[in-house]
Amino acid sequence: MNYLQGLNPSQQAAVKQTEGPVMIVAGAGSGKTRVITCRVAYLIEKGVDPFNILVLTFTNKAAKEMRERITKVVGSEAKNIWMGTFHSVFAKILRVEATKIGYPSNFTIYDTDDSKSLIRAILKEQQLDDKLYNANFVYNRISTAKNNLISPAEYQKNEHIQAEDFSTGRGKLGEIYQIYTQRCFKAGAMDFDDLLFKTNVLLREHADVLYKYQNKFKFLMVDEYQDTNFSQYLIVKRLAAINENICVVGDDAQSIYAFRGANIQNILNFEKDYPDLKVFKLEQNYRSTQNIVNVANSIIANNKNQLKKNVFSENETGDKIKVLRAFSDNEEGKVIAEAIVQERGNKGCPYHDFAILYRTNAQSRSMEEALRKLNVPYKIYGGLSFYQRKEIKDLIAYFRLTFNPNDEEAIKRVINYPRRGIGDTTLERIIIAADQHNLTIWDIICEAPKYLDSRSSGAVSIFATLIQSFQVMAKTHSAYDTALHIAQHSTLLKDLYADKSVEGLSRYENIQELLNGIKEFSEREDIEERGLDIFMQDVALLTNDDNDKNPNADTVSLMTIHSAKGLEFDNVFVVGLEENLFPSQMSLSSRTDLEEERRLFYVATTRAGKKLTLSYATSRYRWGTLTSCEPSRFLDEIDAQYLELDFKPQQKATGNPFFDNERSAWQEKETFSRPKPATVQKTTAMLPKAHVPSEGFSPSDTSKLQVGMEVEHERFGYGKVINMEGNKPDIKATIFFKDLGQKQLLLKFAKLRIVPS
């Protein structure tokens, strides 16, 4: 058990407590993954059969990393652990038990696009206003209902829900939910939420199935328990009811997914479900410097609703946390980009050590523009994933039909792609015939001459024969051979190859990359089942966090804070720290929402290992209007002894200086005024005066610049050089500007005019 020797006392105690209910409260950077993997390895070494261990995670990436670590300790036995995301594990169980709830074992898993496409079709059929019944809104409403285990029948009987729907003029939502559920069932399809909803139905209505899995999973571990919703909570509670060997791991301070249905009360109230609970707190942060940890602690201390813990670091003290102020969002981007170039020049660190985190995706624009101007490579995360590209979804739709020909969304996607003479009118006739005769769309397609006119039925029959030929192929050939055959004989490859545009070439290459991935999958030796249907299930269950994030790409990472959870970088910039942006204006109406925003800020700061920088702008364009911005209240909550301002606070210049004299080293006594919701927009007259460059302003040759010289900057105004350091071409000058205080500039980018003495 050498692996235990590297654990601290708290970690060791958590690993060795294997019996009964356990909660491990794991602070940021506290070695949570290591504790989980060591605990599983410890169970196996104590004689627990790996087949009896269930480990639930929120990303495939986390599950893969854990399994690899466990394999290094216990060997090939790690393959037998039931480990994966909630959705992947319960999809696996549903494949086995699906017939008990009326589904085929080869059911299709609809992604978000499939679900919304079906909803749009239903809205059109029901002749409902798609602006009032927006597909995104309807989808989210149904998703919320399922995550709270509310069936269509219960939805329509619930007086509170019905009153809410009718008050907004959307009284048909319950009916849409009912039709949507019926259509999914008819198509042999489950959406992402169904994988949990139907598992609850299965365990609730089939006592034999519940008993089977209660006895199979004698030891349960749940990672990121603070992110579980009601549906996940209930599944875990049911499975653990007999043995109660349940261990949940998480950090209430990092609960930031309420908008997805996550319920922080699951972790806060865990002891109420298990009175004999043993709690272990992992409080040592191995990731961040002491200053970063202290800042994070001072932030989260303002939340009332939390599990108290004392997170600490024994790493180096580190730099103070720098606060940057910019006059506009564009200048904020420029300042951040220059800081990255400067830090990289000073310390030689690669670009992938840097991350820029923001509250909303829209904030990336100013950052991108500034990075491009300085030729800094970057990558935005949270964009279109590989498997969401049209050409990939088209080919996968053919794969889906091969194994589940009743898949309505897959049929609609490819019945006339590539073009084969089956237009929208013919497709509508097929759908109408299916409804009239209470058959599936595939039933009508297979017997097209019986239900369609001769002109339409010929092309439809050819399509049916094509899909049937794929089904025969799939029974006897490997995943790769089947996939290649489908790509070729559907003529999809030929159609893409014929497009010689840059975009067309890219789409063709993407298909080749998909086939390469299937080839690799079909040759894997670490899994038993390697069929094309299993590959598709893996693709359908990819989470956002599993999308292509190449850790070896030398690029600056740009992402929302929600996307950054679980990641870490040496240098982190958290931008846009302004009232009504962060915290969001939407969160200011209740303590619950505001505390979630504060947890989001806590998550942002704890992504940093060595250096953390915070920034805000005093003005920002919103909906085409330039508005004045006040610094975020979160800045005011940070203990000022850990901060370094990159400017001198202005005496009431904008009406919102945020450092109180009692807590800071600054000489002015200042208070922080909060904006009222009704007066968010202010006149630009309240903004600090911008410097007007002298007539004929032209940057000087700074190779002869010396300490003591007076200079002029086109935006910062007049200043005096007080220090110079570094070697050409990366010489830095520290300049004291009359209105802004001290700033450090990289001369090759600074554009300074030397003022004649």
Tell me which residues are annotated as active site.
32-33, 223-224, 254, 607
Per-residue b or e along 548-560, where b marks 16 or more CB atoms closer than 10 Å to that residue's CB? eeeeeeebbbbbb
Per-residue b or e along 120-151, where b marks 16 or more CB atoms closer than 10 Å to that residue's CB? bbbbeeeebeeeebbbeebbebbbebbbebbe
Amino acid identity of residue 385, one-letter, is S
- The 8 Å CB, 24+ separation contacts for 621-627 are 621/329, 625/681, 626/684, 627/680, 627/681, 627/682
The pairing of strands 732-737 and 717-725 is antiparallel
Measured CA to CA, the distance from residue 348 to residue 545 in angstroms comes to 29
Strand 53-57: give its sheet, edge to edge.
82-85, 53-57, 219-222, 246-250, 22-26, 278-282
Measured CA to CA, the distance from residue 29 to residue 297 in angstroms comes to 13
- Joined together, the tokens standing for residue 657 give 């200086």
Instruction: Report the DSSP beta bridge partners of residue 724.
Output: 733
- How many Cα atoms occupy the beta-carbon half-sphere of 682 within 13 Å? 18
User: What phi, psi does 479 have (nearest 5°)?
Assistant: -55, -45
Measured CA to CA, the distance from residue 71 to residue 61 in angstroms comes to 15
In angstroms, how far is the first alpha carbon of the chain from the final one? Answer: 73
Strand 556-560: give its sheet, edge to edge.
378-380, 556-560, 354-358, 569-574, 608-617, 321-326, 643-645
- The 8 Å CB, 24+ separation contacts for 488-493 are 490/395, 490/398, 490/414, 490/418, 490/466, 491/418, 492/391, 492/394, 492/395, 492/398, 492/417, 492/418
Q: Are 101 and 79 in contact (CB under 8 A)?
A: no
- Joined together, the tokens standing for residue 278 give 């043993």
What DSSP line would sit under 305-316, residue for residue? SS-----B--S-
∠ CA 506-508-511, rounded to 5°: 110
Amino acid identity of residue 562, one-letter, is H
Measured CA to CA, the distance from residue 58 to residue 227 in angstroms comes to 8
Q: How many residues does the chain have?
A: 757
Rounded to a whole number of angstroms, the CA Rg of the chain reads: 29
Q: Cα–Cα distances in Å, from 640 out to 292, 601, 637, 658?
A: 12, 16, 8, 10
* Dihedral sign, Cα of residue 419, residue 425, residue 426, residue 427: positive
Q: Cα–Cα distances in Å, from 723 out to 317, 731, 735, 742?
A: 25, 11, 7, 11
Q: Is 380 exposed, middle or buried (0-12, 13-18, 19+ CB in 10 A)?
A: middle
User: Measuring CA to CA, which residue among 650, 578, 648, 654 is closest to residue 616?
Assistant: 578
Measured CA to CA, the distance from residue 236 to residue 263 in angstroms comes to 14
* One-letter-per-residue 3-state SS of 694-746: CCCCCCCCHHHCCCCCEEEECCCEEEEEEEEECCCCCCEEEEEECCCEEEEEE
